[in-house]
Amino acid sequence: MPWLYKIAANHCYDELRRRGRQDNAFSERELEALADAAPTPQDAVIVRESKRNVRRAMGELSDRARIAIVLRYYADLSYEEIAEILGISKSLVGVLLLRARHSMRKVLDR
């Protein structure tokens, strides 16, 4: 199954290059697909703001760091699987994720 993630990661790299760095935010339609079925109005605002903040923080990461974050926390892959997909060592995956989390934390703390 890691080969499928490798294909998806390469597709994401290609798409990011095609769009350019300025236009890599998710569309509102893509965000609506992630929304809960029936949140309260307050929950909806909190979720929308949280997603916007996470998108903003992820937008400041390098492409490789962003893909590593997605593979680890959204696809729930192991460091070994991420290393294979990205073509880097397992220890570099740990460093990449650590730096990405610190970078995101700084953006989210602002």
pLDDT at 13: 82
Q: How confident is the model at residue 6 (pLDDT cuts 50, 70, 90)?
A: confident
- What's the CATH number where 79 sits? 1.10.10
- Give me the domain span that covers residue 103: 1-13+61-110
Residue 2 lies in a domain: yes
Dist. CA 69–CA 83, nearest whole Å? 12
Amino acid identity of 91?
A: S
Rg, Å, the chain Cα set: 15
C-alpha–C-alpha distance, residues 3 and 61, integer Å = 24
Domain count, the chain: 1
In this predicted structure, what is the pLDDT of residue 33?
65
Could you read off the pLDDT of 32-89 as tens digits, one per residue? 666 656 667 887 788 889 889 988 999 999 999 999 999 999 899 999 999 999 999 9
